[in-house]
Structure 1
């Protein structure tokens, strides 16, 4: 009887131990799973936070670098652009100045020279002159250069289309009082360096003159002497003769 009881007791204890082992195993397994879950969540949280921090830091660094790059480009570009703008403005102003100068130059050539009349009371008139064909010789200290639109070094030009020719005719008209519209030019030629002599008449040939003119630098042609002739001489006298250009 006692043996049966002992045997039952051992079996009961064995079953209880088996149940405790299973329970402990389950509990340990659950605890392990919980610990693993905690570890996983913790790692996820910390690693995620670090990633966000790194991303923020990288974004801030990139923004800073972009701003510095833009500032550097603007700093380098601004002086060049301003300098180029100044050059363009200066170039435009220079172009405008040149256009105005050229326009002024053209207008000067087109404009008639204004001649101030000489004082006839100052004229010195003598009978005769360089040859028998001269009726009288007239010299007037109040004669002045007629002005000129020419610039630079001057050499007399006897081309009828030239500015020099036109200004010489004005000087002879000024000295004699013969209007150019009523003037025939019989001779106009060289009388020495920057000196000229010309023979002119009115169109009806009732007035005949030989006119001597000198070039004054920057001021134009100035009459120096007028001879009133009896008749036309197509060539100058030996006193005034020189090569006709």
Structure 2
């Protein structure tokens, strides 16, 4: 009897252990399923949220790009400034040097230098039509009161810094003026004396 009771007790004990183990395994399986469901469902929710955020950001970018005004471009271009013509400037200077409008008539012996566009050391230059020639004729017109139609009969060296010019009006060729000019550095030719000749030694016929 004792053996039979012991065997039954052990058999019941094993059944109880099996039951406990089965319950424990069932609980573990249930927990695994719950956790798995949470993981998968949670990840899908997270992905949905991420997709919604991306869509909202794209929409906001599109709205901003539509609302931003396009940068204005100035299509007007200024014409490039043309460089001044050096030849024209030289001509203007020569014309300024030959204009007599700014020279007021003066009494004999009270003349002033007529101005100059020349620079550097002085040297006699009798090139007809050159700057020095034009300035000498300007000084002669200033001293004599003659106009642009003045006839220049002769311009000759009168000393280291002086010249002598013989000029007349077209209708007074037989009684020209003889004028002495002196060079003043930086100021040009200055008439210093004037004499009207009774005859013209340079006129033929």
**Structure-2-length-normalised TM-score:** 0.57
1:198 corresponds to: 165
Match of 1:13 among 9, 15, 32: 9
Number of corresponding residues: 150
Q: Tell me how far 1:234 sits from its aligned partner.
A: 3.7
1:25 corresponds to: 21
Would you say 1:118 and 2:114 are equivalent positions?
Answer: no
1:62 corresponds to: none
Higher share in helix: 1
Match of 1:157 among 100, 122, 125: 125
Q: Tell me how far 1:223 sits from its aligned partner.
A: 0.8
Pair 1:21–1:219, CA change in 2 (3 A):
same
Aligned ranges 1:19-168 → 2 under 5 Å = 19-29=15-25, 107-111=92-96, 112-113=99-100, 114-119=102-107, 123=108, 140=109, 142-168=110-136
105-114 or 161-170, which deviates more: 105-114
Q: Tell me how far 1:168 sits from its aligned partner.
A: 0.7
Q: Tell me how far 1:12 sits from its aligned partner.
A: 3.3
**Partner SS, residue 233 of structure 1:** coil
Pair 1:188–1:10, CA change in 2 (3 A):
same
CA distance in 2, matches of 1:173, 1:32: 130
CA distance in 2, matches of 1:23, 1:193: 144
Pair 1:16–1:192, CA change in 2 (3 A):
farther
Cα pair 1:197 1:212 within 8 Å, conserved = yes
**Partner SS, residue 223 of structure 1:** strand
CA distance in 2, matches of 1:30, 1:155: 128
Q: CA RMSD in A?
A: 3.7
Pair 1:157–1:20, CA change in 2 (3 A):
farther
CA distance in 1, matches of 2:27, 2:91: 109
Cα pair 1:115 1:147 within 8 Å, conserved = no
**Partner SS, residue 165 of structure 1:** helix
CA distance in 2, matches of 1:154, 1:24: 133
Pair 1:15–1:177, CA change in 2 (3 A):
same
Would you say 1:217 and 2:185 are equivalent positions?
Answer: yes
**Partner SS, residue 180 of structure 1:** coil
CA distance in 2, matches of 1:109, 1:24: 127
